[in-house]
Amino acid sequence: MAGAPRKKLVGRYEVGRTIGQGSFAKVKFAVDSDTGVPVAMKVLDKATILNHRMLQQIKREISIMKIVRHPNIVRLNEVLAGRTKIYIILELITGGELFDKIARQGKIRENEARKYFQQLIDAIDYCHSKGVYHRDLKPENLLLDSRGNLKVSDFGLSTLSQNGVGLLHTTCGTPNYIAPEVLSNDGYDGSAADIWSCGVILYVLMAGYLPFEENDLPTLYDKITAAQFSCPDWFSPGAKSMIQRILDRNPKTRITIEEIRADPWFKKNYVALRRGEDENVSLDDVQAVFDDIEDKYVSEGVTHKDGGPLIMNAFEMITLSQGLDLSSLFDRQQEYVKRQTRFVSRKPAKTIVATIEVVADSMGLKVHSQNYKMRLEGVSANKMSPFAVVLQVILPST
């Protein structure tokens, strides 16, 4: 019909409404015109990826998601490229986050919690068999499909071990779910660290709250390092034993996935998945999508002509950490003291600043930036109290 609206097509996909949006991407509902199957289409802007130095991270995440093809992992079907956009075609998951279910119900019945835990262990065991370590397992990254089956998502912090051996050294993850050894500087086994996070998730499912929760990070990390927690009275003996064996502060004596699968509590009503033969996965489309981005968009990169971030030796950093006060950086008078927090990152200073700016902008905060010093200004959720956060990037001297 002459008056009918034209459908927007990307490749063979008919693109519909926006169903999600983040700092770096939009997620659209789409339909495969060949099969009629609905999918989720994640749309990323090439120039934004390059400007915010996200190229390698996103390429790694997409590659990993193509490698891990399991019934309990969100499936990445293919990657397409337009002139200015990247389109990631994903399995459409309609049941929401496991976190939302916990928020609505509070604690979940033991049999149901065990089913989710079994599916989580199956998925993570498969990832580890491929040399993939997730490193940010939490209920927010676990989705539910229309049948109530668990799907692991968000591999943005994951890593791929080329030979399956060796310790990891990047401190990353969500504080309440992070393993004790990740907080040290001695390196950690990605498999044992993921298992710890699975144990915290099982605890949250059955209790309705976290085993480790404090208002400030130092106290939280002290509790995690000491594995200081207790199980509620309503946990069955089998569930308590399982959680205590997982939340073992020593990764060398922590229960393994093989031992989890052999545990009587875990085996109850457990149906092992028949995965069949592994698919031959090609990363050619991923490579093709990213091959020309840097050449084509290099002129849009951001440069900083300044003196660079402050550099301090270890002694100066320790001295500063006893009373970090950056309130004078922008010549503003402060009549009260706010909590001071220090974070450590292996990312370049420019990447840290750029990422903070993007996140602050997405939250509606005003950003004042000068020579790696930043002031973020906003208004509290009740619209009554203004607040400010001051940050500075400091590099250790060599």
Same domain for 324 and 236, yes or no, is no
Report the pLDDT value the prediction gives residue 153, as an integer from 0 to 100.
94
Residues 77 and 178 in one domain: no
- Residue 196 belongs to some domain of the structure: yes
Does residue 285 have an active-site annotation? Answer: no
Mean pLDDT over the full length of the chain: 82
Q: 297 lies in a domain?
A: no
3 lies in some domain: no
State pLDDT tens for residues 307-356.
Answer: 566 555 444 444 344 333 333 333 333 333 334 455 667 678 888 888 88
| Candidate list 122, 125, 136, 248, residue with the active-site label | 136
The answer as to whether 288 is a domain residue is: no
Q: Tell me the per-residue pLDDT of 255-305, one tens digit each, with 9 for 90 and over.
A: 999 999 999 999 999 988 766 456 667 777 777 777 666 545 433 333 344
End-of-domain residue from the set 75, 92, 109: 92
For 332-391, what is the HEC assignment?
CCCCCCCCCCCCCCCCCHHHHHHHHHHHHHHCCCEEEEECCEEEEEEECCCCCCEEEEEE
Q: What is the pLDDT of residue 355?
A: 84
Whole-prediction pTM value? 0.72
The whole domain housing 21 covers: 8-92
CA dist 152 → 27, 148, 204, 353, 382 (Å): 17, 13, 16, 30, 34
Residues 134 and 78 in one domain: no
Together in a domain, 230 and 371: no
Same domain, 221 and 330: no
Residues 6+ away with beta carbon under 8 Å from 46: 84, 85, 86, 293, 296, 297
Whether residues 42 and 140 fall in one domain: no
| pLDDT confidence of residue 302 | 34
Same domain, 226 and 119: yes
Asked which of 267, 295, 324 is the last residue of a domain, the reply is: 267
Q: Specify the pLDDT at position 175.
A: 93
pLDDT < 50 stretches in the chain? 1, 276, 295, 297-306, 313-340, 397-398
The residues, ordered by sequence, that sit 6+ positions from 236 with a Cβ below 8 Å of its Cβ are: 110, 265
pLDDT at 333: 38
Same domain, 84 and 105: no
Number of domains in the chain: 3
Has 42 been labeled as part of a binding site?
Answer: yes
Partner residues linked to 29 by β-bridges: 40
**Shared-domain flag, residues 375 and 226:** no
Q: Please check whether residues 79 and 105 belong to one and the same domain.
A: no
Classify residue 183: in a domain, yes or no: yes
One-letter amino acid identity for 362?
S
**Predicted local confidence at residue 169, as pLDDT:** 83
Q: Is residue 280 part of a domain?
A: no
Mark whether 313 and 391 lie in a shared domain. yes
CATH code where residue 65 lies: 3.30.200.20
Domain shared by 258 and 366, yes or no? no
**What is the tens place of the pLDDT at every residue in 251-268?**
999 999 999 999 999 999
Of 52, 77, 92, which residue sits at a domain end?
92
392 domain-assigned: yes
Q: Is residue 276 assigned to a domain?
A: no
The CATH number of the domain holding residue 374 is: 3.30.310.80
Q: Measured between alpha carbons, how far is 297 from 360 in angstroms, rounded to an integer? A: 24
Q: What is the CATH number of the domain that holds 224?
A: 1.10.510.10
Nearest-angstrom CA–CA distance, 372 and 376: 13
Contact between 368 and 391 (Cβ < 8 Å): no
